[in-house]
């Protein structure tokens, strides 16, 4: 953990990194890990966010699965701050279909928290506070599959109630599935370029509804992965939407949502700083080269 106060003890500062779709254990993932370690040694990082699809192609088989070493501990062995985890569709199994609820694949990742120094996943969705910010780690795969598994609105109500009760200056959410994205998966409610009516589960209609009822205008920032690229979309509903899904591989950007920044075919990560009432975000590629920076204020 770095000192999160400014000179003379005035002000509040929180710094973090966000990466998604990391779970390949390939050279790109190791390069991103090294770039993060170097940048955080220079600029400071209090924690990281892992934005889902932590283990391709079908999650882990136990808390002792060697993938925890190959695709997490070793790529980030030079990182000494906690990394808060979100679950993705591949983490639930089924080669990414994400409906393998009869196994304990997701629960193994929760349980691994007790075996790692930096892996933090206390439950499938959770919140934590640091300085003047509060963060909500969401299980969007559970939201995505609500029509399939008959789940209630428990997570949505938990989030809405938590945000309503929060006194934090900054309220930030992170999860796997995006609300809007110019990547191949596209926008919630029209994922995979499929209209919502025939296949509401596949299209992410439940994610769209969840975001519009519990995230839009309620959270200041929402970070996600799922699409394997780097994007900062223009706010569509009073919330900043950031996609950082280039943790181990990269894809194109065929969408046409208005965006401040979008870079396809580039692995990399996002670094954010909350300094009093100002938020600065910077994208970096896998070599640590700065790609884009933007600052927003309350």
pLDDT digits (tens, 9 = 90+) for 128-140: 999 999 999 999 9
Between vectors from CA 91 to CA 85 and to CA 95, what angle results, nearest 5°? 155
Per-residue pLDDT of 61-98, as tens digits, reads: 999 999 999 999 999 999 999 999 999 999 999 898 87
The answer to whether position 200 is within a domain reads yes
Look at residue 141 and tell me if it is in a domain: yes
Does pLDDT of 3 surpass 50? no
**Mean pLDDT computed over 270-284:** 98
Q: Is residue 2 part of a domain?
A: no
Grade residue 154 by pLDDT with cuts at 50, 70 and 90: very high
Provide DSSP, 85-137.
Answer: EE--GGGGSGGGT---TTS-HHHHHHHGGGG-SSEE-SSSSEEEEETTEEEEE
The DSSP call for residue 70 is I
**What pLDDT does residue 101 have?**
64
| Residue at 277 is within a domain | yes
Instruction: Report the pLDDT value the prediction gives residue 170, as an integer from 0 to 100.
Output: 98
Which of 125, 161, 157, 120 has the alpha carbon at shortest distance from 141? 125
Q: Which own/partner contact pairs does 40-45 have at CB distance under 8 Å and 24+ positions apart?
A: 40/15, 40/79, 40/81, 40/271, 43/15, 43/271, 43/273, 44/2, 44/3, 44/15, 45/2, 45/15, 45/16, 45/17, 45/81, 45/271
pLDDT band, residue 4 (cuts 50/70/90) = very low
First to last CA, the chain: 26
* pTM of the shown model: 0.94
- The residue ranking higher by pLDDT, 2 or 25, is 25
Residue 149: pLDDT band (50, 70, 90) is low
| pLDDT above 80 for 45 | yes
Q: Is residue 146 part of a domain?
A: yes
Could you tell me the CATH number of the domain that includes residue 158? 3.60.21.10
Domains in the chain: how many in total?
1
Is residue 78 included in any domain, yes or no? yes
Q: Specify if 1 maps to a domain.
A: no
Q: Domain containing 223: what range?
A: 7-297
pLDDT tens sequence across 96-122: 887 766 679 999 999 999 999 999 999
Q: Is residue 79 part of a domain?
A: yes
């Amino acid at each position: 953990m770095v000192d999160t106060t400014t000179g003379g003890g005035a002000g509040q500062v929180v710094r973090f990194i966000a990466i998604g779709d990391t779970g390949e254990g390939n050279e790109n993932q190791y390069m991103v890990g090294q770039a993060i370690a170097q940048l955080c040694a220079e600029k400071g990082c209090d924690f990281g966010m892992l934005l889902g699809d932590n283990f391709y192609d079908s999650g882990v088989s136990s808390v002792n699965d060697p993938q925890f070493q190959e695709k997490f501990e070793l790529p980030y062995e030079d990182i000494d701050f906690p990394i808060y985890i979100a679950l993705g569709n591949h983490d639930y199994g089924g080669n990414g279909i994400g409906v393998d609820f009869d196994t304990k694949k997701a629960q193994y990742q929760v349980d691994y928290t007790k075996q790692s120094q930096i892996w933090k996943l206390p439950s499938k969705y959770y919140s934590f506070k640091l300085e003047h910010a509060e963060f909500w780690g969401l299980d969007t795969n559970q939201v995505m599959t609500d029509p399939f598994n008959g789940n209630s609105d428990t997570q949505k109500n938990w989030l809405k109630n938590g945000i309503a009760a929060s006194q934090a200056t900054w309220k930030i959410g992170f999860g796997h599935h995006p609300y809007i994205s110019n990547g191949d998966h596209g926008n919630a409610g029209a994922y995979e370029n499929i209209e919502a009516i025939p296949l509401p589960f596949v299209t992410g209609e439940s994610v769209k509804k969840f975001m519009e009822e519990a995230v839009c205008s309620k959270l200041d920032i929402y970070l996600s992965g799922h699409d394997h690229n780097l994007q900062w979309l223009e706010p569509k509903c009073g919330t900043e939407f950031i996609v950082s899904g280039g943790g181990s591989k990269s894809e194109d950007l065929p969408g046409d949502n208005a965006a401040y920044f979008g870079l396809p075919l580039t692995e990399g990560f996002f670094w954010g700083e909350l300094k009093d009432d100002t938020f600065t975000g910077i994208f970096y590629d896998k070599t640590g080269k700065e790609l884009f920076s933007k600052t927003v204020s309350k």
